[in-house]
Amino acid sequence: MSEFKITVESPESWQRVIKVSVPSAEYDRQYQQRLAAAVRDHKRPGFRKGKTPRSMVEKELGNRLRADTFEGLVPQVYREAVIEHRLFPITEPQLGNLHLENGEDVSFDLTVEVRPEVDVKDYEGLKLTEREVSITDDEVTEVLDRLRDSRAAYEPVERAAKDDDQVVLDLVPLGDDGEPQDERKMNGQRLTLGDSNNLPAFNDALQGVAADQDLDVSVDYPDDYPSEPLQGQAITFRCHVVQVEEKKVPEADDAFAAQLQEGQTLEELRTNVREGLVSEGKKRVAQELDDQVLDALIAGNEVPVPPSMLETWLTSGVQEMRQRAGQMGREVGEADEAEYREAAKPSAERQIKGMFLLEAVRREEKIEVSDDDIAAKVEETAAEHGFDVEKYREFVEQGEEKDRIRHSLLERRTYDFLISRGEVSAAEAADEG
């Protein structure tokens, strides 16, 4: 039988407080064991190893040995509590209310967060709306126009520059003395006039310029400019216009369609574009249904969010934000992080609640995924992406990919089950958005 007295309290559904009492006799027994071991290993001038008087060793090492004894007790008690009370902690235990006095029972609390037990209700008959997918001719034409624009070429023209022209520049910054800094000269710089990504000073100054023209452009860089060395700087550039180029967009005809796929006609291209838009539209509709399911589940069930899970979720988002900012040469300050956390908190809470509720539905309905299901998904994915099936299968078995596939299939089956048991009504395509 255990020498420890352990009780567990639940101040919150996501929190457990393990209250522990260790009889002084048990604590003293473990302390004496450590003291005996210390005596055996002790070396002191004037005594052979292990022959130092016990009282001298205790005087020298007693405080440390008592601390070591307590530190050794904590994992023993924690392990016993987890097993006996069937706990599933998601955080490390936090020590509190420690009472450790000579000759008295030792008592302390260990506080942990656990996954809350969620009993999902009212998950059948969810009211859902499925939007009809309808693609107009104008939407097809818009995609074709973007494709044509992506194949546009620029050709030199002998006229003044205007918006959408590409201006080719040689430019050099001027120093404080007004002299060109030739070592920083940049040749062949291309700028699409009127582009919103340009600095406004260049868009304004280059309107109406022509080839072989020279001009100075003064730029005031904003304080939040992506390149830190330029933030808040005022720099004048001496510019030489090499040439002005006009954008030439190919006509929408069979020749253009054949550029994208050999032998393809314009009508076949339009059909392929329409089919692609329909496919994308169906994916959006499916995602909308999933979102409605999640929102309906959350609205119908109270789900606590463990603070540690929320913190982990938000911290991961902050790390991704910092990484993206670093790739763009920007820094993320404390104010940026605080703003992100505040903005991202509702979404993070929604995702965590949804995760618990979907898991609860799976438990209730015994929704499972077999190894055969995963094997079929592996073959499907390999065929879809042109992977070698055997190599992809080896990849799946070696890492975390198998668990990811299993979770993805479980989640999909859970959504499909809830949608199949829901009350789905049709909505007009115009309701999109």
CATH, residue 31 = 3.30.70.1050
pLDDT, tens digit, 9 for 90 and up, residues 118-145: 999 999 999 999 999 999 999 999 999 9
Q: Are both 243 and 264 inside the same structural domain? A: no
Q: Are both 287 and 365 inside the same structural domain? A: yes
Among the candidates 216, 248, 280, a domain finishes at 248
Using CA of residue 289, residue 295, residue 299, residue 305, what is the dihedral sign?
A: positive
In a domain, 277, yes or no: yes
Confidence category of residue 2, pLDDT binned at 50, 70, 90: low
In a domain, 130, yes or no: no
Q: Are 200 and 191 spatial neighbours (Cβ–Cβ below 8 Å)?
A: no
In a domain, 39, yes or no: yes
Please report the pLDDT score of residue 350 as a whole number. Answer: 96
In a domain, 145, yes or no: no
Q: Are both 310 and 275 inside the same structural domain? A: yes
In a domain, 134, yes or no: no
CATH, residue 228 = 3.10.50.40
pLDDT, tens digit, 9 for 90 and up, residues 159-218: 999 999 999 999 999 998 889 999 999 999 999 999 998 999 999 999 999 999 999 999
In a domain, 149, yes or no: no
Please report the pLDDT score of residue 170 as a whole number. Answer: 95
Please report the pLDDT score of residue 226 as a whole number. Answer: 75
Q: Are both 261 and 285 inside the same structural domain? A: yes
Q: Are both 241 and 263 inside the same structural domain? A: no
Higher pLDDT, 60 or 417: 417
Collapse the DSSP code of 358 into the 3-class scheme (helix H, G, I; strand E, B; otherwise coil) and give the result.
helix
* Closest of 118, 424, 128 to residue 301, by C-alpha: 118
Q: Are both 96 and 48 inside the same structural domain? A: yes
- What is the mean predicted confidence (pLDDT) over 69-78? 91
Please report the pLDDT score of residue 236 as a whole number. Answer: 94
Q: Are both 224 and 267 inside the same structural domain? A: no
Within 68-124, strands assigned E span 94-99, 106-113
pLDDT, tens digit, 9 for 90 and up, residues 203-253: 999 999 999 999 999 999 988 787 778 888 899 999 999 999 999 999 999
In a domain, 119, yes or no: no
Q: Which helix (H) or strand (E) holds 242?
A: strand 234-248
How many structural domains does the chain have?
Answer: 3
Q: Are both 12 and 82 inside the same structural domain? A: yes
pLDDT, tens digit, 9 for 90 and up, residues 357-409: 999 999 999 999 999 999 999 999 999 999 999 999 999 988 789 999 999 99
Alpha-carbon torsion, ordered 73, 75, 79, 84, to 10 deg: 30
Please report the pLDDT score of residue 24 as a whole number. Answer: 92
Whole-structure pTM value: 0.74
Please report the pLDDT score of residue 331 as a whole number. Answer: 80
Segments forming the whole domain that contains residue 74: 5-113
Alpha-carbon torsion, ordered 268, 271, 272, 277, to 10 deg: 160
pLDDT, tens digit, 9 for 90 and up, residues 252-310: 999 999 999 999 999 999 999 999 999 999 999 999 999 999 999 999 999 999 999 99
Radius of gyration of the chain (CA): 35
Q: Are both 50 and 191 inside the same structural domain? A: no
For residue 433, pLDDT beyond 70: no
* Closest of 62, 91, 73 to residue 20, by C-alpha: 73
Please report the pLDDT score of residue 430 as a whole number. Answer: 52
Query: What's CA 217's distance to the chain center, in Å?
Result: 42
Compute CA distances 341 → 113, 334, 356, whole Å: 21, 11, 22
Compute CA distances 286 → 110, 132, 420, whole Å: 45, 11, 13
- What is the mean predicted confidence (pLDDT) over 345-351? 96
Q: Are both 333 and 267 inside the same structural domain? A: yes
Q: Are both 228 and 268 inside the same structural domain? A: no
Among the candidates 185, 217, 248, a domain finishes at 248
CA dist 23 and 106 (Å) reads: 6
CA dist 190 and 212 (Å) reads: 15
pLDDT over 70 for what percent of the chain?
98
In a domain, 310, yes or no: yes
Q: Are both 299 and 219 inside the same structural domain? A: no
